[in-house]
């Protein structure tokens, strides 16, 4: 009885303190498959825990955010980006009296389906797969199908909806989902700027100065400005949106990063390497399905092989993708050591 009261206490706190526009845990539309509820945790809290302990979440630490195999310990990976998004989303949710547990669960799961080699890998798989490839759709497939040896995590509707619709083009069903969508853009633009400056690709003075004046001269200042703008524009309303001036400056910075960092001769050279590796493995496993790991061979009995190849390749970390490629295409006796490469 004592354990049961813990969850009831959470329900009472939410009823008392959350905005009338927030998604209360007790009002969730539920899971795809019914199951025994937890006596202490709400469904959104359980979803958060399930995501954190998933294999796909653990793999994020070795997936590229922007820079492939960066030299240095302080460049962001897909996992650190995910933690950044979670923190910003929770800050937005807290300021607007939304459900922090729901926002956090969506944020932690939003990139589970991302490919190795960052967005370059996503573009490659999108060009290879007959039905295309999008990491938000794949993230939903990870939690619905691929985790737990094909049983999926059986998450709530609200978390699944937020994961699927976190991209700018999406339309989340909850304000918490909209908070994550904004947090994703705020995080990757600002933190990619930090990493680019650290890598020597940009200087602070290279940034569009009008937008710096609007948002701030440091990552911390810009994030604070944007979260404050969301609060001032959305508090007490059925929306989560940034003020027009700040939103325009964020989009300007995003466009600047595409021109100066994301799509440049240097980045496209790296993308070409990713393309060669992923394309070669896609063709190899299409012709040699018996070489797939047992789990993915089993999936071929239920889904089109093209989908399963996307499942397998997108699940790979950068290092694992390189190792698989080398194992297939580079005979061990011919493989060059790093010293050999430096001597050429």
Model pLDDT, residue 343: 46
Please give the average per-residue pLDDT across 33-61, as a whole number: 96
Model pLDDT, residue 67: 57
pLDDT over threshold 50, residue 320: yes
Sign of CA dihedral 304, 154, 59, 68: positive
Summarize pLDDT for 175-221 with one digit per residue, the tens: 999 999 999 999 999 988 988 888 788 899 999 999 999 999 999 99
Summarize pLDDT for 81-94 with one digit per residue, the tens: 999 999 999 999 99
pLDDT over threshold 50, residue 242: yes
CA-based angle 332:338:341, to the nearest 5? 95
Model pLDDT, residue 333: 60
Please give the average per-residue pLDDT across 166-183, as a whole number: 97
What's the burial of 149, exposed, middle or buried (CB within 10 Å: 0-12/13-18/19+)? exposed
Model pLDDT, residue 144: 98
What's the mean pLDDT when you consider all of the chain?
A: 91
Please give the average per-residue pLDDT across 41-58, as a whole number: 98
pLDDT over threshold 80, residue 264: no
What's the burial of 164, exposed, middle or buried (CB within 10 Å: 0-12/13-18/19+)? buried
Q: Global pTM?
A: 0.92
């Amino acid at each position: 009885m004592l354990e049961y009261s813990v969850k009831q206490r959470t329900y009472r706190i939410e009823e008392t303190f959350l905005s009338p526009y927030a998604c209360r845990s007790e009002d969730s539309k539920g899971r795809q498959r019914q199951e025994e509820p937890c006596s202490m945790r709400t469904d959104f809290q359980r979803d958060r825990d399930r995501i954190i302990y998933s294999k796909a979440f653990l793999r994020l630490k070795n997936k590229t955010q922007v820079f492939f195999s960066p030299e240095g310990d302080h460049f962001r990976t897909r996992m650190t980006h995910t933690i950044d998004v979670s923190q910003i989303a929770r800050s937005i949710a807290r300021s607007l009296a939304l459900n922090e547990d729901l926002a956090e669960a969506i944020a932690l799961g939003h990139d589970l389906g991302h490919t190795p080699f960052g967005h370059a890998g996503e573009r490659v798989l999108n060009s290879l797969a007959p039905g295309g490839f999008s990491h938000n759709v794949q993230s939903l497939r990870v939690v619905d199908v691929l985790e737990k040896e094909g049983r999926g995590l059986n998450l709530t509707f609200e978390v699944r909806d937020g994961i699927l619709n976190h991209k700018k083009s999406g339309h989340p069903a909850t304000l918490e989902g909209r908070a994550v969508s904004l947090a994703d853009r705020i995080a990757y633009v600002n933190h990619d700027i930090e990493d680019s400056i650290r890598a020597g690709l940009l200087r602070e003075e290279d940034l569009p100065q009008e937008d710096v004046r609007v948002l701030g001269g440091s990552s911390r200042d810009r994030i604070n400005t944007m979260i404050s703008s969301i609060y001032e524009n959305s508090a007490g309303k059925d929306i989560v949106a940034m003020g027009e001036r700040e939103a325009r400056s964020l989009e300007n910075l995003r466009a600047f990063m595409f021109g100066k960092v994301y799509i440049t001769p240097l980045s496209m050279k790296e993308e070409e390497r990713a393309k060669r590796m992923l394309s070669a493995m896609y063709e190899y496993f299409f012709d040699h399905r018996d070489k797939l790991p047992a789990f993915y061979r089993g999936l071929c009995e239920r889904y089109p092989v093209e989908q399963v190849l996307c499942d397998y390749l997108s699940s790979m970390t950068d290092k694992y993708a390189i190792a698989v490629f080398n194992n297939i295409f580079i005979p061990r006796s011919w493989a060059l050591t790093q010293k050999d490469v430096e001597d050429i």
